[in-house]
Amino acid sequence: MDSLMTLLCSLLIGVVASNAALLPAQVYWNSVLPNTRMPNAISDLLSSDTVLDTKTGTTVNVGKGGVYVNAHPGKPGATTVGVGKGGVHVVAGQGTPGGTTVGVGKGGVHVVAGKGTPGSTTVGVGKGGVNVGAGNGKPGSTTVHVGPGGVTVNVKPKYGKPPSRVTVGPFSYNYAATEDQLHNNRQINFFFLEHDLHPGSKITMQFEKINTDAKFLLRSEAETIPFSSKKLLEIISRFSVQPGSDEEEAMKETLKECEDPVLDGEKKMCATSLESMVDFTVASLGTKNVKAVSTTVYSKYETPRQEYTIVSSGVKNLSGDELVACHQQTYAYAVFYCHMAKSTKGYTVKMTGKDGTVVDAAAVCHTDTSAWNPKHVAFQVLNVKPGTVPVCHFLPQDHVVFSRNK
C-alpha cells in the first residue's frame, strides 16, 4: 500500500510541476486563441479542481478529498486511482458502463457497482456504519447513512445555486424596461451617450463585484445537460432547485432570453461552456486573431456608487465595427449570452473614482439602435429615441467583449 501511494504521489508531482500543466479550458483557449490574453471575467470562472497534462493526456484532480489521477481519460477501460485521507480508491474499466470501483481505507471497504451507469448504487461498510448512495453520479442524487447517530438522508446538488437576482438583462435589446430596471442604479448607470466619452468627462456609477459559485463546465459535460425551457422541470430537479423559488425564476428567465429570436443583423448564442464561447467568437469575427477585454476594478473591496472621471488619454478604440459581447447570465453554472451586432464600436476606458479607485472599463457604443424596443431602458434613461444617436454602455466586471486584433 505504501509503495503504491509513493508512486502515485510522484506521478502527481511530475504532472503538476510540468510546464504543460493547465486547466482543460485553458488548453482549448490557448490552442484556438494563442495570441489572446484571457481576461479575468473568464479566468475567474474556471474550475481549479482539474489539471490537464497536455503531453500525456492525464488529468489530476487535487481537492479536499485528496488526489485523483485519471490515465488516458475518455478511453473505455482506462484506470483511475485516488489517494486521499479515505485511503486508496481504484476504478477498473473507467468509462465502461458496468465497471466496478473498490475503495480500501480507514473508513472500511467501499464498492460501487455499475460505475458509469446513471442510477448506479454505492455501498460503504466501515466504522462509521453503512452508507448507501442511490443515483450515484447524478447531480441531486440521494445518500443514506446508517450509523451510531441514527439515519441521515442527504440530497446534494452538484453545482452551486444561482444568485437570487431575477430580471430581464439590460443587454437584451428587444425587451421593454421593467419597473425594477428603472429603479436599479446598477443597470441604469451603465448607459451613456457617445459624446460623453472623452477625457475629463464625469460619470456617476457603481462597478459591483458579482459573487457567484457558478463555474464553467467542460463542453463534454455541458452537452449532457438539457438547456431548454421545455426541460425546465428536469433541469431544476437536477440541480435541486425548489419549484417556485427565485432560483427557478432566474433560470427560467435566462432560458427565455436565450431562446428569443435575434434582432435584425444580429447573431447570438448562449454559451454553456468556454469552448462554445470561443467557437462562436471565431465564427462570428471570422478570425482567430482576436482581442478579449473586460472591466477591471483595481480595489480589494466593494467600491461605492461614486463619480468617476475619465483620465487624459484614457479612451482607446477597439478595432473594427463588429464586436462579440458576452454577458454572464443567472444560472446554476456559468452561461453567457453572446451576440454580435454590426454598427458597433468598442473602447477601453481608464477612469479614476473620487475615492482614488482606478478602473479599466470596457465600453460598447451601438451606432444603429433602430431595431431596439422603443421602451428599452437605455432610451428611457437617456431620453433619446431609437435610431437617432449612438447609445453606449459600460460592461460589468463579469462580461467580456471580443474584437478583431489590429
Please determine, for residue 89, whether its predicted confidence score (pLDDT) is greater than 80. Answer: no
pLDDT band per the 50, 70, 90 thresholds, residue 376: confident
Residue with the bigger pLDDT between 360 and 126: it is 360
Residue with the bigger pLDDT between 225 and 53: it is 225
Please determine, for residue 199, whether its predicted confidence score (pLDDT) is greater than 60. Answer: yes
Residue with the bigger pLDDT between 142 and 185: it is 185
378-392 per-residue burial string, b: 16 or more CB within 10 A, e: under 16:
bbbbbeeebeeebbb
How far are the Cα atoms of 19, 55, 117 from residue 72, in angstroms, in the given order? 19, 11, 19
233-270 per-residue burial string, b: 16 or more CB within 10 A, e: under 16:
eebbebbbbeeeebbbbbbebbbebbeeeebeeebbbb
Q: Cα 79 to chain center, whole Å? A: 29
Residue with the bigger pLDDT between 369 and 161: it is 369
Q: What is the DSSP letter of 360?
A: E
Which cell numbers hold the place of 325? 459581447
Residue with the bigger pLDDT between 100 and 395: it is 395
Cα dihedral value 304, 306, 311, 315, nearest 10: 80
Residue with the bigger pLDDT between 8 and 331: it is 331
Least trusted range by pLDDT, from 13-27, 52-66, 122-136, 242-256: 52-66
Please determine, for residue 74, whether its predicted confidence score (pLDDT) is greater than 90. Answer: no
Q: Mean pLDDT for the chain?
A: 74
Q: Report pTM.
A: 0.67
Cα–Cα distance for residue pair 210/208, rounded to 1 Å: 6
The whole-number pLDDT of residue 374 equals 85
Residue with the bigger pLDDT between 38 and 15: it is 38
Evaluate whether 191 touches 171 at the Cβ level (below 8 Å).
Answer: no
Query: pLDDT, tens digit, for every residue of 120-146?
Result: 444 454 554 544 454 444 444 444 444
Cα–Cα distance for residue pair 350/344, rounded to 1 Å: 20
Residue with the bigger pLDDT between 99 and 392: it is 392
Least trusted range by pLDDT, from 39-48, 87-96, 214-223, 256-265: 87-96
Query: pLDDT, tens digit, for every residue of 326-357?
Result: 999 999 999 999 999 778 899 999 999 999 99
